[in-house]
Each structure stands twice: as structure tokens, then as C-alpha cells.
Amino acid sequence: MAVLKEFRDFAVRGNVIDLAVGVIIGGAFGKIVDSLVNDIVMPVISTLLGGHIDFTNLFLVLGKIPEGVPRTFDALKKAGVPIFAYGNFITISINFILLAFVIFQMVKVVNKVRLVDAQPAPSEPENTVLLREIRDSLKK
């Protein structure tokens, strides 16, 4: 019974709940960034590079392609052919850079809000400041 009580106390502790909420929101936010990259950024980059370039379909075949299997990323993956999918890596790297940049901007905004909401440090009484000045001048 003591173990169950200890587990319950652990599970409902604020840090665990905060972590769970963060993971859920992070998963949803990751989908938003994926959509941003795949549906908005990549088409623009593709157009700037000469049109209709889809980085996810950039790959090198490392094995033998069985007869009848089309030379497309999805078909080769399904057929179990080893491929070097550098285009997919490029897409995921762009996702990471955008996600890191957005999170960086969010942290900057939160830090600014915290600074505005923070209470100013209590100032020292005037007599304490004067006594310190007198002490420092006597030391000289």
C-alpha cells in the first residue's frame, strides 16, 4: 500500500503534470511546424530552385531494385530496398531549424513578460547608503 501511495504522490506532483502537458503540446506543435515546412516553406524553396523539387524524394539507391518496382521513394521503401534518403534528412533539418527558431522567439517573449511583471528589488534605506559612503570614505 505504501508503494501505491508513493506512486500516486509522484504522479500527481506538479512537475509530472507539467511535463505531460508539455509533451502533448509539443507533439501538436511539431505537427504545425511539419505542415509549415511541407506546405508553405518547401514549395517556395522548390519554386526558387527551379520548380517542383520535393526534398523528400531525393535519394540514392544502395541496393538492387527488384523487377517491376517503380523507382519512387515510397515504392522502394515498401520493397525493402536500402536507400540513402538525404532529401528526407534535409526536410527534417529544416523542420528542426524552424521549430528551434520559433521556440527561441517564444522564450524571448516570455522572458520579456516576466521582466515586466517582476517586482522591482526593494531599495535600501537612505541612511544605510549614507553610512556605507561614510565607511568607504573613512577607509580611504
pLDDT in tens, 88-133: 888 888 878 877 887 788 888 888 887 776 666 667 788 888 888 9
Greater confidence (37 vs 25) lies with 25
Q: Is residue 29 part of a domain?
A: yes
Q: Which residue has the cell 512537475?
A: 15
Looking at residue 41, its pLDDT comes to 78
Q: What is the DSSP letter of 119?
A: P
Mean pLDDT of the chain: 82
CB 97 within 8 A of CB 45: no
Strands (E), 6-117: 60-61, 83-84
Any idea what the CATH number is for the domain that residue 37 is in? 1.10.1200.120
Q: Is residue 132 part of a domain?
A: no
Looking at residue 119, its pLDDT comes to 66
How far apart CA 1 and CA 87 sit, in angstroms, is 54
How far apart CA 54 and CA 88 sit, in angstroms, is 9
Share of the chain above pLDDT 90, in %: 6
Looking at residue 50, its pLDDT comes to 75
Q: Is residue 70 part of a domain?
A: yes
The number of domains in the chain is 1
Q: Is residue 140 part of a domain?
A: no
How far apart CA 42 and CA 121 sit, in angstroms, is 48
Q: Is residue 33 part of a domain?
A: yes
How far apart CA 87 and CA 117 sit, in angstroms, is 45
How far apart CA 56 and CA 7 sit, in angstroms, is 44
Q: Is residue 84 part of a domain?
A: yes
Greater confidence (78 vs 122) lies with 78
Looking at residue 135, its pLDDT comes to 92
How far apart CA 87 and CA 51 sit, in angstroms, is 16
| 49 pLDDT above the threshold of 80 | no
Looking at residue 48, its pLDDT comes to 80
Q: Which domain holds residue 31?
A: 2-118
| 23 pLDDT above the threshold of 70 | yes
Instruction: Pick the closest to residue 83 from 94, 68, 67, 72 (CA basis).
Output: 72
Please tell me the pTM assigned to this model.
Answer: 0.53
Q: Is residue 46 part of a domain?
A: yes
Q: Is residue 113 part of a domain?
A: yes
Q: Which residue has the cell 529544416?
A: 94
